Amino acid sequence: MTDLAARLRQQIAGAFGADRPERLGVAVSGGSDSLALLTLLNDWRATGGPDLHAVTVDHGLRPEAAEEARMVGRICDDWAMPHTILQWAGWDGNGNLPDAARRARYRLMAEWAVDKGIPAIAVAHTADDQAETFLMRLARAAGLDGLSAMAPRWQQGGVTFLRPVLNATRDDLREVLRDRGIAWADDPTNVDPAYERVRARQVLETLAPLGIEAATLAEVAGNLADARGIVDTQVAFAARNVARIEAGDVLIDRTALARIEPEITRRLLQKAILWISGADYPPRGHALKRMMRTIDAGDSATLHGCRLITRAGTLRITREEKVVAGLTAPPGALWDGRWRLSGPEAEGAVVAALGENGLRHCPNRRDSALPAASLRASPAVWQGQTLLAAPLAGLENGWTAELVRRENHDFAALISH
């Protein structure tokens, strides 16, 4: 093993720390980055690292992709490593293809890992990916959050995803493969200037003579991530002093909020909205600022699937009724991503929003601390057109409503820590 490979393997082991799983999934496309990650993890496996299970997602968008997936399978067979190919056939030709493919890829891998009992999956994002993302976000005039480094780990679908080679460059990883005589597949879209990431890569090449390289921008992004951590600490402190949770709503003391710096206020509201809405991305900056001006004036507003209600000295953030209208789930399953209703067995029962019609059938609704707007968007149990239960509106009939923690968006935990 070369000194470079040994250093990278040590870096990978350090990325897991004391949380090293016994079984680890590895996302492998057949490109140089992911094959090098697989190679280094296999070295680690041979010296006491976790058992490895490789997974490849074939998006069905290029005819070469199927053969690339089989190539990964042959390498895994040589190394006596299980390998699974997952198929995606969900592209309808609308919207942003790279974003749709990315979402599908992680969803499929998370489902696969849960089914296999694999708690974590390693992905091969590098310092080059970090730098390219920095430039793409810079072009959109992103702020501190957008320009900060990619997270080294995150949760999705009950699975931990990790980026253990985030500090390595693509050239380093390719050098590992060249040393082992391992060939990789080149995706032609990686040189197609129609894609924003490719254009960012080309800009990096232009900036290199100025000393602005992938490692440089990755370090800058890391510095910004450190600064973001300090700001997040201030947001958490503010949240514990001005906010509380009430039956899934966030209540904020407006008087106390007015004494907080505007940037901290903006971030606090952003986190509350993400927790309630479950959205993948926060509201756009101009929309959030407009909403802040509205509530400063004492008016109510809607934003990002949430309703913000101003009452005297309190701001209440709740779910917007029209967003959950028509949303259903079986009893015991998650409804709107954060409520689980449990109760006696009832044939044909479904969980859906209470709505105005259901609210009329809740005689004890006024005993609830929640306003009508919150109750209408709250979960209830229906059997056809018959309301069986609405626990948050005082109509229990043996049913309970549990507020379940959201992955990556947990405002309640922010307050309680």
Tell me if 3-219 shares its fold with 239-321+409-416.
no
Helical pair 214-242 and 262-277, crossing angle rounded to 10 deg: 90
Q: Is the pLDDT of residue 417 over 60?
A: no
Q: What is the DSSP string of 136-171?
A: HHHHTT--HHHHSPPPSEEEETTEEEE-TTTTS-HH
Six-digit token pair at 144? 């501190």
- pLDDT-derived band at 416 (thresholds 50, 70, 90) equals low
* pLDDT digit string, tens, across residues 298-345: 999 999 999 999 998 999 999 999 999 999 999 999 999 999 999 999
CA 220/CA 371 separation, integer angstroms: 46
CA 394/CA 390 separation, integer angstroms: 6
What pTM does this model have? 0.85
Higher pLDDT, 45 or 414: 45
User: Are the C-beta atoms of 264 and 231 separated by less than 8 Å?
Assistant: yes
- In this predicted structure, what is the pLDDT of residue 172? 95
Strand partners, 160: 120, 155
- In this predicted structure, what is the pLDDT of residue 153? 93
Domain boundaries, the chain: 3-219, 239-321+409-416, 323-403
Q: Is the pLDDT of residue 388 over 80?
A: yes
> What is the rounded average pLDDT of the residues 383-398?
97
Averaged confidence pLDDT in the chain = 93
Window from 29-33, 206-210, 364-368 with minimum mean pLDDT: 364-368
- In this predicted structure, what is the pLDDT of residue 303? 97
408: left (phi over 0), alpha (psi -120 to 50) or beta: left
Q: Is the pLDDT of residue 17 over 90?
A: no
- In this predicted structure, what is the pLDDT of residue 190? 83
* pLDDT digit string, tens, across residues 197-206: 999 999 999 9
Q: Is the pLDDT of residue 414 over 90?
A: no
Longest dimension (CA), the chain: 74
CA 355/CA 390 separation, integer angstroms: 10
Tell me which of 3.30.930.10, 3.40.50.2300, 3.30.70.20, 3.40.50.620 is the CATH number of domain 3-219: 3.40.50.620
Place of tokens 């890992």: 113
Third-level CATH fold of 239-321+409-416? 3.30.465
* pLDDT digit string, tens, across residues 225-258: 999 999 999 999 999 999 999 999 999 999 999 9
